[in-house]
Every structure is written in C-alpha cells, then in structure tokens.
Amino acid sequence: MNSLWRYEQDDYVSQFFQIHPENPQPRLIKQAVEIIRKGGVVVYPTDSAYALGCQIGNKAAIERVRKLRGLDKTHNFTLMCCDMSQLGLYAKVDTGTFRLLKAHVPGPYTFILNGTREVPRLLLHEKRRTIGLRVPRHEITLALLAELGEPLMSVSLILPGDDEPMVDPYEIRERLEHHVDLVIDGGFGDLKASTIIDLSGDEPELIREGCGDPTPFLVNA
C-alpha cells in the first residue's frame, strides 16, 4: 500500500455500513452521524461520485481529509447542504443567481461562491474567501444532512494518483479501511464527480465538467 495512506493507527479498521440507497435505515444514519460528530472521517455516496466527509468545524478531521486527498490550502472545499435555504446561509448569493440555482438543484453540481461569516475560516479559499456548495439529490446524503442538522464538509473521493473516483464500495473499504472511520456502502457510485461552476466572479467559469450539464449556468448566469 502506498506510504501516503499510512495512518497512525495501522491496526484500526473502519466501520462499514450497508445503507439502502432509496430507504436509508434510520438506525444506521444515526450511528453514522454520531461518528461524524465525534470527529470521524466518512466515505459516503452522493448523486455523482463517492465523497469524503467530516464535520465542518473539526480542524483535525479536515486535516485528515486534506492529507488523504493530497490537497493544498488553495483547494475549494465543499459544503454539502440539505436545501437552498441552508446554502443561502453559507454563501453570498444575489437574487438572480439564487433563482438560477433553485431552478437546477438539487443535482450533481458544485458551485463556487463567496462565503459568509457562517463558514469556518479554515474551509474558505485562502486568498479568494470562496467555498464550494452543493445540494445533492441522493437519499442517503440527505438523510445524513437531516440528522446532522448542518452542512457536511465534503470533497470528491479521487485519491492521489487516480484519474477517476472509485465506484466500488468494497474496493473503497479495502484501500481506506485503516484511514477513515466509516465507509457507507450505498451501491456503486458514478465514474464522474460533480460539475463545478465558479459563480464568484463577474462571469461564470466552468472548473470541471462532471455529471451535471453546465450549459444553463454558463448561458444564463
């Protein structure tokens, strides 16, 4: 195994929950959220690829995610939000942009927006003070967010050296069982991550084309 994944507790093995993708079991969702609240790092399914997630204000957990992904301080983290109202608490969104987003979410899109004071400073882009935000269309993700009561800090599960996200939860378990606290098996994931669109400047910019069609945002924003 690559030394990059050498974790301090080599004998530690993550938990593995098989959660129904359409009817998530409330008991397992509660247990997953308890792990997150205690500072755990979890792998969970979304409406695009699998993602790494942790509590938004937990510095130690965020640093673990940063190391797992090999990210520098200029990377835009994402807040996974339950709905547009929650997104509006963490991002500065004018009326026109809000209407545009509302017409196309939930869905497999990540939007780079200017963060509000509600966003922990360690999550904001170091220079631009921006943050990524998503409103997903996935029952497991939404159940986690409802139980958690706040956004989930998230990044796509694309490991250093990989060109695409992992799709098989058993492969994810094999590679990361000593490096995360929980892997949620919600079935096979998508080979593509979310589409990322930067709406923080004067003109929209496509950062990454993934599962979602970026056309409505680039034409109408």
Residues 145-156 have a mean pLDDT of 95
Residue 4 domain flag: no
Confidence label for 35 from pLDDT (cuts 50, 70 and 90): very high
**Four-residue CA torsion sign, 181, 81, 130, 208:** positive
Residue 12 domain flag: no
Place of tokens 């339950």: 82
Structural domain boundaries, residue 148: 20-215
How confident is the model at residue 19, as a pLDDT?
Answer: 97
Place of tokens 């963060």: 115
Tokens in use for 208? 């990454």
Residue 1 domain flag: no
Residue pair 110/46 in contact (Cβ under 8 Å)? The answer is no
Lowest mean pLDDT among 143-147, 157-161, 178-182: 157-161
How confident is the model at residue 7, as a pLDDT?
Answer: 43
Q: What is the CATH number of the domain that holds 187?
A: 3.90.870.10
The model's pLDDT over 92-137, given as tens digits with 9 standing for 90+, comes to: 998 888 888 988 899 999 999 999 999 988 787 777 789 999 999 9
**Nearest-angstrom CA–CA distance, 153 and 161:** 23
Whether pTM exceeds 0.85: yes
| Average pLDDT value for the chain | 89
Q: How many domains does the chain fold into?
A: 1
Residue 134 domain flag: yes
| Residue 151 pLDDT exceeds 80 | yes
Residue 6 domain flag: no
The model's pLDDT over 59-85, given as tens digits with 9 standing for 90+, comes to: 999 999 999 999 887 787 899 999 999
How confident is the model at residue 104, as a pLDDT?
Answer: 87
Residue 202 domain flag: yes
Lowest mean pLDDT among 16-30, 68-82, 120-134, 202-216: 120-134
Beta strand 42-44 with 182-185 is parallel
Q: Return the closest-CA partner of residue 138 out of 69, 221, 194, 208.
A: 194
Residue 5 domain flag: no
| Residue 4 pLDDT exceeds 50 | no
Compute CA distances 53 → 5, 65, 180, whole Å.
17, 8, 10
Residue 204 domain flag: yes
How confident is the model at residue 135, as a pLDDT?
Answer: 96
| Residue 158 pLDDT exceeds 60 | yes
How confident is the model at residue 180, as a pLDDT?
Answer: 96
The burial class, CB within 10 Å (0-12 / 13-18 / 19+), for 194 is buried
Q: Return the closest-CA partner of residue 64 out of 105, 24, 26, 36.
A: 36
